[in-house]
Structure formats: structure tokens, C-alpha cells
Amino acid sequence: MMKFFSRLTMGSALAMCAASVSAQTSAANVSCDTTITSIINKSGVITVTHPEALELRLRKAVADSDSLPAEGALHKTRRVKKMGGYRVQIYSDNNARTAKNEARAKERAILGAYPELSTYVIYDSPYWRLRVGDCRSKADAEELAAELKKAFPAYKAEITVVRDRINAVD
């Protein structure tokens, strides 16, 4: 995850520097020895703008780690623990050639529509399964399943509520 942020930051910095250098070059204000580092050091501020869906996915990644900062207080931590609960199973198949790719494709479709949902692609030999959500009660899971059936009518036949170990935040 850190490599992703490093690459994102470096890519943004390079793009901004290239735009800055080309703008300054056209105005004949840049010498031949201008470097990216010197341009970054001059401005001192780099702003990265990203879509809200990316923000939700980044928060999900932090929530999936063992501990995460509490809102408003970085010095306190909340623990993620495993407990009994329910998930909505979207897909299950044992076709060795297509099951993994099909599970991943459906996962991308679900995350595209519901970026706040936790998704789990699970391989339990010989089955590949896609499960979503961390519901503490069966009623919550059934409500989520009904919503997913409306949003994805093509998946309707396979969507079921299953008992599973879920991630619960203290």
C-alpha cells in the first residue's frame, strides 16, 4: 500500500513539475539546470486531488489493517477483531479455468457501485467465492442481499446470506 502512495505522490509531482517546467520554459524563466527537486522546493506545496471513491477505498484499506486510528484522535487506536456474523455471498464456483477471474470481475463491479463495502475473494479448495459485508445480524445481511439483488439482477440467483467470521471494529 505504501508503494502505491509513493508512486501516486511521485507521479503527481512529476506531472505538476512537467506542467510547471513547460509553462516556465515558454516564458524563458528556466535555466537548463532546473530539476524537479528544485521546482518542488520552490513552491513547497503539492496538492493531490482524487475522486471520492478512491478516498473510500483508501479508508477501507486502513480499516482492514489490524489497528486503525480513531476518528479525531490519532493517539488512540481501535482494534479490528474477528467474531461470528454474516456476509452476503455473491459468487461460488469450482471451475478451475474461470472461477478466480469471475470472482474478481464481480468484486470490481460490486466495489464500483458500493466502494464502502468490504469484499472478500476466498479460495477454499476447490471453490472460489466472493462474499461482501461484515454484518453482525442476519437481518442486516438479508437487507444488504436484497439491495444487491436490486442493483445486480444478473447475480440474483447466486446471492445468498451465509454465516461467516466477520471483522468487527471496537
* Residue 106 and residue 28 share a domain: no
Tell me what percent of the residues of the chain surpass a pLDDT of 70: 62
**Structural domain span for residue 42:** 2-76
Alpha-carbon gap, residue 95 to 72, rounded angstroms: 47
pLDDT of residue 15: 58
Q: Which of 49, 76, 103 is the last residue of a domain?
A: 76
* Residue 53 and residue 18 share a domain: yes
* Residue 40 and residue 88 share a domain: no
Q: Which of 43, 76, 109 is the last residue of a domain?
A: 76
Which residues make Cβ contacts (< 8 Å) with residue 129, sequence separation at least 6?
89, 91, 92, 103, 121, 122, 123
Distances (CA, A) of 34 to 24, 39, 42, 152: 10, 7, 11, 53
* Residue 23 and residue 55 share a domain: yes
Q: How many CA atoms lie within 13 A of 1 on its CB side?
A: 9
* Residue 91 and residue 63 share a domain: no
Which residues make Cβ contacts (< 8 Å) with residue 147, sequence separation at least 6?
none
What CATH code is carried by the domain that includes residue 152? 3.30.70.1070
* Residue 82 and residue 20 share a domain: no
Q: How many CA atoms lie within 13 A of 45 on its CB side?
A: 2
* Residue 97 and residue 34 share a domain: no
pTM: 0.55
What pLDDT, in 10s, does the model give residues 4-62? 555 555 556 555 555 554 544 444 444 556 676 676 667 666 677 778 877 777 777 66
* Residue 162 and residue 95 share a domain: yes
Residue 103 binned pLDDT confidence (cut-offs 50, 70, 90): very high
Cell of 159: 446471492
More confident residue, 113 or 64: 113
* Residue 149 and residue 119 share a domain: yes
Residue 159 binned pLDDT confidence (cut-offs 50, 70, 90): very high
Model confidence at 94: pLDDT above 80: yes
Model confidence at 70: pLDDT above 60: no
